[in-house]
Structure 1
Amino acid sequence: MNELEILDPRFRAYVLPNAPLVKLGEGFAWLEGPVWFADLNCLLVSDLPNDRIMRWTEDGGLSIFRKPSGFANGHTRDRQGRLIGCSHRHRCITRTELDGSITVLADHYDGKRLNSPNDIVCRSDGTIWFSDPHYGINTDYEGGKQTAELPSALYRLDPSDGGLRVMADDFVGPNGLAFSPNERLLYVAESGPQFAADPERHIRVFDVLDDGERLAGGRVFHTVTPGFADGFRVDQDGNVWSSAGDGVHCIAADGTKLGRIKVPFTVSNLTFGGRNRSRLFICASHTLFAIYTNQRGAQQP
């Protein structure tokens, strides 16, 4: 029986006390960027410092999907089902075509190199949104030390014409991001300076205006503790399921922490997948876990 903490009665309906937290694999350096492929019934996940993307299936277990990966971090799928990813080493956004070839979608803004794209999501209009902090070029561990040419920012890429726009630049360390189910809200993690003793860390929420052309607001939505929000996903009811230092926290759309799933290691990221998008895949430091829930993730491509 897994360990659950119920802080709000609403959380009881989302979790299954008899569903165990299952270890799918271990021995990684630092797991990130999980993305579920329902049509292939597999999970892809970045083993970031080891410069590889792993593939997991129920029947086949774990195998290497791509190595080297360009120190890949966050992933998503576009409306055509193609893999969209962030590369720390090459400081770019890539798309894996259906024939397996890789296309660089963006690597410069205003004539300067991007920093180290971190996390990424696709909107229903086909636009691609990603965070671009300095984390991946600050150390040799996650991509290699390089000189930053741009401030940290949140970008919107229109792949139809290659247009790249800054949507918000008042971040020190933008990190995970996710849209609400109706795409009227955008949640973005602010992870703060990488080596600061006491960085300011929280999840911010923006209003999406003009059919995705503009953001407004950016208020603090929730502060995760212990640890901080790195990556997160939103379920079909608009709750945010966030990484934390002690597991996965479920946060209601009003900012109330509903409860948590306790995980023995620091969680960096997570995604819904599996049958009916109700299985939560959890990247916990060097270990990959999964747990069935009684909630479904928001519909993805």
Structure 2
Amino acid sequence: MLTDWFEVKDPRFTALVFENVHVEKLWSGARWTEGPAYVAAGKYLLFSDIPNDRIMRFDETNGAVSVFETPCGFQNGRTVDPEGRVVACEHGGRRVSRREHDGSITELASSYKGKRLNSPNDVVVRSDGSIWFTDPTYGIDSDYEGHKADSEIGASYVYRIDADGGDLTAVATDFAKPNGLAFSLDEKQLYISDTGLSHDPAGPHHIRVFDIAENGRELTNGRVFATCDAGVFDGFRLDCLGNVWASAGDGVHCFAPDGTLLGKIRIPEAVANVEFGGLNRNRLFITATQSLYSVYVRVNGARNLARHVG
């Protein structure tokens, strides 16, 4: 029998989780945790405590959690690019930035057609070096997770930055609040969550999937992949089989590539994001409201080039 941490919706889920493994609570003390990114070279996880304007660091070698940086521009989502550099979304700076190997910060995008971005939320890097990110208004809606301001663009888009740091283009303009995003294993598709329910009781609370055009610059054929039955899907990751592990109000929801809900990992706090890490990328880190959790699973995190960090 599986432990009480797991809820099986489809028999296939039992092949992805262990019967005798429990979810571990690694740390608590944040206001809203987000943006987990595992840095394989250092065996540590970076994650955000957005309202407290700090980046936290979990050291996998000894279990210690410490403040990595504060203030940090109210950082939210982040990822590690193929060169091992951390690319981050800043609510406060209203920009996407990259930490270079020497510790310096490079600004990658802060405006679109002469208007300031809203508050970049989550980001992924494709193997061709292009950077894709979402830009809802959460960081400018109030002074809690950034600095209150009006949206200069007047909408929430999904953007793409050229690999050479050149053009910034809007690749999706019909979202209410675009949020988490991830590439399919072959990078021919892009999954994007819409958390518009946060601002509208009738708003979207689903993940859509798009085909990426052969030129690698455009999204086509958008359709709903899965709808959340407990709050909204915020951040999510794929495993090496193409299953989608998505954050939700009652824990982590796991979907098969065909959109079937396979099962849930129950977490006693609303989950914001997840990340596969550890030596074999079989440890699922979970950022949930005030706390950081983890659980070992039978499947490994995706190792496509855009997510491969070691």
Normalising by structure 2, report the TM-score. Answer: 0.95
1:125 aligns with 2:159: no
CA distance in 2, matches of 1:53, 1:297: 23
- 1:71: which partner in 2? 74
- Contact persistence 1:93–1:106 (CA under 8 A): yes
Counting matched residue pairs gives: 301
Query: What is the percentage of aligned positions where both structures have the same residue?
Result: 52
- AA aligned to 1:20 is H
2:281 equivalent among 277, 282, 299 = 277
Q: 2:146, 2:86 → 1: CA distance?
A: 20
Unaligned runs of 5+ in 1: none
Asked if 1 retains the 8 angstrom alpha-carbon contact of 2:121 and 2:179, the reply is yes
SS of residue in 2 equivalent to 1:138: coil
Aligned counterparts, 1:98-247, within 5 A: 98-150=101-153, 151-192=155-196, 194-247=198-251
Q: TM-score, normalised by structure 1?
A: 0.98
1:2–1:21 Cα contact (<8 Å) kept = no
Task: Specify which of 51, 64, 81 is matched with residue 53 of structure 2.
Answer: 51
Deviations 1:50-72 (A, max 9, x none): 00000001215101111001000
Greater shift, 245-254 or 154-163, is seen at: 154-163
Cα separation, partners in 2 of 1:290 and 1:264, compared to 1, 3 Å:
same
1:24·1:290 contact (CA, 8 Å) conserved in 2?
A: yes
Q: Name the aligned partner's letter for residue 101 of structure 2.
A: L
Give 1:287's aligned residue: 291
Partner secondary structure for residue 212 of structure 1: coil
Q: Is the 8 A contact 2:197 2:205 kept in 1?
A: no
- Provide closer, same or farther for how the CA distance between residues 17 and 211 of structure 1 changes in structure 2, counting only shifts above 3 A: farther
Query: How far apart are the structure 2 equivalents of 1:80 and 1:94?
Result: 15
Where 2:139 maps in the other structure, the secondary structure is helix
**Partners of 1:149 and 1:194 in 2: how far apart?**
20
Say yes or no: does 1:86 pair with 2:81. Answer: no
Q: Aligned pair 1:249/2:223, yes or no? A: no
Corresponding residue for 2:22? 20
Contact 2:205 2:231 in 1 (8 A): no
Asked if 1:61 corresponds to 2:64, the answer is: yes
Q: Secondary structure at the match of 1:137?
A: coil
Distance 1:293 1:201 in 2: 26
Check the 8 A contact 1:105/1:159 in 2, yes or no. Answer: no
What CA distance in whole angstroms lies between the structure 2 residues aligned with 1:279 and 1:2? 18
Q: State the distance in 1 between where 2:47 and 2:283 align.
A: 15
Q: Which residue of 1 aligns with 2:32?
A: 30
